[in-house]
């Protein structure tokens, strides 16, 4: 099972990234625990300097932008 963390204050971009990860996981039958991290004090601990951030299994894959759906799909399949 993948652990996916969406890091950000809960803005629209963060929500869009969260929904996109949920959709990609569901569409590709990938078991994932998808979490929202909104505590600003934890951002730096997690290695996120710009939001939204995407962390999969402890590895920062993206920050400061929303990756495309196909990019997220590729990353999740690669880690799976």
**Per-residue pLDDT, 79:** 85
> What's the structural domain count of the chain?
1
68 backbone φψ class: left, alpha, beta (φ>0; ψ -120 to 50): beta
48, 3 contact by CB (below 8 A)? no
pLDDT at 80 over 80: no
Q: What is the largest CA-CA distance in the chain?
A: 33
Range of the domain at 37: 2-79
The pTM of this model reads 0.94
Say which CATH number the domain at 30 has. Answer: 3.40.30.10
pLDDT tens for 3-61 read: 999 999 999 999 999 999 999 999 999 999 999 999 999 999 999 999 999 999 999 99
């Amino acid at each position: 099972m993948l652990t996916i963390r969406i890091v950000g204050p809960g803005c629209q971009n963060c929500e869009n990234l969260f929904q996109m990860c949920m959709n990609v996981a569901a569409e590709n039958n990938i078991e994932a625990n998808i979490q929202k991290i909104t505590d600003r004090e934890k951002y730096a601990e997690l290695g996120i300097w710009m939001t939204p951030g995407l962390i999969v299994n402890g590895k920062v894959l993206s920050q400061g932008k929303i990756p495309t759906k196909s990019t997220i799909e590729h990353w999740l399949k690669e880690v799976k």
